[in-house]
Homo-oligomer: A and B are copies of this chain.
Amino acid sequence: MAGNSFGTLFRITTWGESHGKGVGVVIDGCPPQIPLDESVIQTMINRRKPGASVATTARREPDQVVIMSGVFAGMTTGTPIMIMTTNKDVDSKTYEAHAELFRPGHGDITYLAKYGIRDWRGGGRASARETVARVAAGAVAKAFLDKHSIHIVSYTIELGGISAKARDLNSIDRNMFRCPDMNAAEAMKKRVIDVKKKGDSVGGVVEVLAKGVPPGLGEPVFDKIDADLAKALMSIGAVKGVEIGAGFKAAGKLGSENNDAITPQGFLSNHAGGILAGISNGDDIVVRVAVKPIPSIAIEQDTVDTSKRPATISTKGRHDVSAIPRINVVCEAMVGLVLADHMLRQKAIQEDK
């Protein structure tokens, strides 16, 4: 089974290359009678648009989404929803020079090893442009989750080595990095401008918070909700690590510290990140992802060409300094898709109330 589908009951299949005719997604399994129109999707898509912060590329795709099927009279019908956007601002010229070179840190070398052929224009299928389809699908998932009062938010807690100290969720829409700490956001900005001048790039850490998730979601022993979240998030380009709740810090704790005591009013702490034995426990779900620095940099690097001859490369194309903050909405989308899927999976086995 090729790997361009995700989810079991709320299932998406994405298609499209960076410099092809367009990118899109088929959502199969979205319940009927969910209110949906293009504006709901466009709003979320716009959040991942290039050009929104000092960290992002100058490419300006209108990214106008169209719902091609599955919606009638403003409501989902239960049939497949296809959403697409055509590629308009395509400039493959800067890539032509690199058609025969493998860019370090990119999938050029592995795509060729795997398929024996590759669409080198703009990164082809391995481009971040692929995430437009994820976000479009995530917007539909969120429309469904809204009906069940589940809300998801993502924010940047580390960028270029600078960490957020605070978790002030009101701040995240007030700075260009979606950082819940305005002071840290200011330092991040300086850092990014500095790195940009040097032609280099930075990584960071994004946290995703899901509120209102009912207890009981997750399908042990393999499709645990944390396992599915880990897959969903690790499948995003640039993500190199995923942790739940206390995450890697839990490894250094004692059991007596890490356990969340239970009271009639709920859990006294949330080191579990809202998940016990792979099933949601009703508390907030908290996930963090490590985002590597963008591999395309202006600084010259050693590489080889497709004939394995040594070469150097310096990427002059339009590229972001960091996948953050554009990646945040993608993380949010992927968490939304996992939750929507597990809502349906749990509904299937649960007695009607």
Contact = CB atoms under 8 A, between A and B. Distances in A.
B294 A33 contact: no
A211 interface: no
Contacts of A240: 226, 243-248, 250-251, 273
A90 to B, nearest CB: 13
Interface size class of A (residues with CB under 8 A): 35 or more
Contact of A80 (B4, B281, B291): B4
A58 interface: no
A97 interface: no
Given A77-B118, A301-B256, A16 B347 contact: no
Nearest to A224: B235
A241 B258 CA distance: 14
A54 interface: no
A177 interface: no
Contact of A2 (B80, B116, B293): B80
Nearest to A205: B251
A228 interface: yes
A29 B8 CA distance: 13
Contact of A68 (B9, B24, B310): B24
A286 B273 CA distance: 25
A68 B84 CA distance: 10
Given A26-B15, A295-B259, A279 B1 contact: no
Contact of A20 (B69, B232, B243): B69
B241 A107 contact: no
A8 B9 CA distance: 9
Instruction: Tell me the number of copies of this protein.
Output: 4
Contact of A276 (B8, B109, B277): B109
A102 interface: yes
Interface in A194-208: 195, 200-205
A276 B230 contact: no
A349 B24 contact: no
Interface in A332-353: 344-353
B33 A116 contact: yes
A95 interface: no
A22 B68 CA distance: 7
Contact of A28 (B4, B70, B216, B263): B4
Nearest to A162: B252
A277 B3 contact: no
A50 interface: no
Contacts of A222: 3-6, 231, 235
Contacts of A226: 234-235, 240
Q: Give 5 closest A-B pairs by Cβ, nearest first.
A: A107-B277, A3-B223, A3-B219, A241-B243, A201-B255
Given A105-B276, A251-B290, 12 more contacts: A9-B9, A9-B348, A15-B81, A24-B82, A26-B26, A79-B115, A110-B215, A125-B220, A160-B252, A205-B251, A230-B242, A347-B347
